[in-house]
Chains A and B, each alone.
Chain A
Amino acid sequence: MAFAIEFFLRRISQGLVIVILVAFVIFTLLRVVPGDPIRIILGPMTPASVLEETAKNLGLRDPLLVQFGRFMGQVATGDLGRSFIRGVQGGSAGGSQDAKGYNPESRASVAELIGHALPYSLQLAALGVFFALLIAVPLGLAAGLRAGKWPDRLGLYVSSLFVSLPNIWVGVVLIFLLSAKTGLLPAIGYQGFAYTIIPAMVLAIELSPVMIRAISVSVAANLGEVYFDVGMVRGLSYRTMVGKHVLRNAAVPLLNLFGAQMIGMLLGGLFVVEYIFSYPGIGMLTINAVFQRDFPIIQAVAILASGALVAINMLVDFASTTIDRRLKF
């Protein structure tokens, strides 16, 4: 128990530093690259004087550190701010001016926008990981248990094939084959659970190669460990050794891989896949925000994404130490 408390306290404080650093880098980059959001907020033909006045009122012309301090103060109170662009009904929007100039109250709350989009993304991510496991576990296990034989080669070939397919292309091909040509599944937007299936397949194709290799390598390595031979000599069956010992020990690298690599890949994949499929999740929200220079949304998503990565890595490390007491974090 004391170990757990000490572990989480240390890791949370480290994580906070990482999240703040990420927030600062994103915040700075947004304001350094070309593309002043004020023109998009108010519309293309707004006089320069009105643009400047509104930008000043919004604090967009304050020194960077002042802006960042104000923003973090807001975040500390749980307020992620309001979108620059999207209206209260949440739709993507271009620039316009209310009768009394720019009114932030007419824009959507970032927390609400994220709250609305997140369940869709979680559903897609969960189904994507499920499909990836459906592909990777049988192939990876077979490859690990029969190292050097045809299942191992099959695992290698499938991994190599999947890893070299760009997800944009896979998405387009799957929509074309499973939706446009055969009408088996719907594909664009979201009207029900079925709309998640093809995008999840694309995610799975992106995620599974890493999983296949990790499982096969880890299982094969455990089969070569001394404890495996000792177990067999002591009369335990092959099935018992694999099912009770090898799989458990092989799970640690897979868990670490999930924390270190898979979540990053999943997030990146979500962005691309949601955009291709016009799927109304966090990825789509973020890409539109990038196109529209909607700083508050981009900043909030960056903070949440880095927070999620930190949290998941922390949980993975904790789970790993629980499984394998030799590990220390």
Chain B
Amino acid sequence: MKSTRRTFLAGASALGAGTLLIAAGTGRFGTAWAQDGKTLVFAAAGTVTSSWDPSSHTIAPQITAEALVFGRLTKCLMKPDNPGEILPDLALEWKVIDKFTLEYKLRQGVKFHDGKEFKAEDVKATYEYASQPSRPASAWYPGQVEVEIVDDYTVRLKTEKFGYPALNFWYVSAFLPILSAKDVADPNVLKQRPNGTGAFRYAETKGDQIVFKSNDTFYDGKPEIETLLWTYVPDANTRVLGLLNGQYHLTERLEPEQYESLKAQANIVTNSSLSSENKYLHFRCNKPPFDDVRVRLAAAHAIDRDQVLAVVGEAAKASSSHISPVKFGYVDVPNYPKYDPELCQKLLAEAGFPKGAGLPELEYITSVGFYPKTREYGELITAMLQEQGFPVKLTTLEPAAWEEQIYRRADGQGPGHIIDVGWITGSPEPDLVLRPNYHSKFALINGINDAEIDASLDKERNAGSTEERLKVLQEETLPLLAAKVPSLSLFSSVFLRAMSKNLEGAYFYPNGPIDLSKAKLS
């Protein structure tokens, strides 16, 4: 048989059409498979851990997943215009009894997903277990705590024995998940499945997909969404494409370009909100040259943060403070280091490094592939520092390698000299950021050891009232951190999300969790 262009094209067309017909016959059409109106598919950017015990980890994606399942004593929406507002959740009332005692009146008639009734014993078991220093998530607790059961529905948090004011739980209680006392008694059960009082109950894990079902007995009414598929999708482009073809209804941590392009899509709604995350450049303060505050300040004055903001675009908001605007006590600090090359040179000369002469080679370590634009603004900052005479080289690492480089080692030292890190925590409580990073007892990354900073952090923590604490934070602690710059906060992160236009009623917390209890898919 002699083949011609015509016979060839006819054959190729028939083959192509046949393939597509087979395809259409073997599967449902792409945009229809998750459109039953009762199932919501969330494409998550991060993974959970192998343990469902909330005290076993400090992993942000799992905190997001747990927020669906567990209730908390109180709720903080952390809106920038009123970050300190506290709403009831499992507690209906709360008050200060004395400096070392807080009292909570609990909601009655609430049930855990396994049917057990929620009572004071659960608060006691949770707080006393999770606040033990040996638990990884005790980092979220201001310290160990004793819980006194007044009656089945009244508890008192007592901190005198541990030497800090109970007021430190005022905001943090909106972030600490409440477990069942029955589960706490058996850590093996605790890690196998989450059992809370929240709007969704855990059903099963299928590989990288977690199935949650609506909680019929949720105190605030059964959610309209019956099934929530929490799907880990590591690649940001895949998450966007899945949203475009209707397989996902909601996705998070978008790159600014993706966010921009999704704005033009008719079936997609974009959402951005200020987060509780700040992006920092931590200086290793316990080794030269950044053990000298003048060199740290010089570096801070070499960086034009407006240019950094221009590079990061919609994923960043200007802030001049070491905490995010959704944290209690936030204020744009007047003495926060501004771009000032002259002052930079003056400080370098005072420190004995005129125009950078004599400085050792400095390594600036950043990650690529998790936070937006880190490579781009890393290169920009490197150029700015080099312009002022800092001999900086930029090291970009993928997230796993970067994570291993961040924290100080057993000998107190960490690799490199400048580390790019984001720090995100729930609740408006500022100490979740300030103590781990700037108190010499912890100083997890920068290794700062400064008696004045320690004293100021202790002073704000030990304040007798929220008013007094606010004053100390805004007038002493935050300005002191700006003056001593153990790290430079570059900006506050803005979280970029996108969702199907059929999804309504979701509320996004600034630290990642999503309240879907009132959400519906039309």
Contact = CB atoms under 8 A, between A and B. Distances in A.
A86 B205 CA distance: 12
A187 B245 contact: yes
A321 B15 CA distance: 34
A98 B20 contact: no
Nearest to B436: A45
Contact of A45 (B30, B139, B246): B139
Contact of B58 (A37, A45, A175, A183): A45
A91 interface: yes
A256 interface: no
B235 interface: yes
A142 B3 contact: yes
A186 B241 contact: no
A183 B51 contact: no
Given A52-B410, A96-B51, A175-B245, A277 B33 contact: no
B32 A48 contact: no
A77 interface: no
Contacts of A40: 400, 403-404
Given A45-B136, A192-B27, A276-B238, A106 B51 contact: yes
Contacts, number: 225
A36 B404 contact: yes
A34 interface: yes
B207 interface: yes
Nearest to B34: A191
Contacts of B233: 188-189, 278
B65 to A, nearest CB: 11
Contact of A48 (B61, B135, B410, B436): B410
A3 interface: no
A226 B121 CA distance: 93
A94 interface: yes
B56 A96 contact: yes
Interface residues of A, number: 72
B241 A96 contact: no
Given A88-B50, A142-B8, A276-B237, A293 B400 contact: yes
Contact of A34 (B232, B405, B444): B405
Given A93-B49, A276-B237, A291 B398 contact: yes
A187 B247 contact: yes
Contact of A39 (B11, B245, B407, B444): B407
B205 A180 contact: no
A280 B208 contact: yes
Contact of A151 (B3, B241, B248, B436): B3
Interface stretch (A193-201, A212-220, A260-268, A307-315): A193-201
A296 to B, nearest CB: 14
A276 B27 contact: no
Contact of B24 (A51, A97, A134, A185): A185
Contacts of A42: 136
B384 interface: no
Of A46, A48, A95, A96, which is in contact with the most chain B CB atoms at under 10 Å from its CB? Answer: A96
Of B245, B399, B407, which is in contact with the most chain A CB atoms at under 10 Å from its CB? Answer: B245
B47 A44 contact: no
A172 B241 contact: yes
Given A92-B208, A179-B241, A189-B231, A46 B136 contact: yes
Contact of A87 (B26, B29, B50, B406): B50
Of B12, B136, B187, which is in contact with the most chain A CB atoms at under 10 Å from its CB? Answer: B136
Contact of B30 (A34, A91, A183): A183
14 contacts: A48-B410, A89-B207, A93-B48, A96-B57, A97-B51, A116-B207, A134-B19, A183-B32, A184-B23, A184-B29, A194-B23, A194-B28, A197-B19, A291-B234
Given A94-B62, A95-B57, A184-B29, 5 more contacts: A40-B400, A96-B136, A106-B51, A187-B245, A192-B28
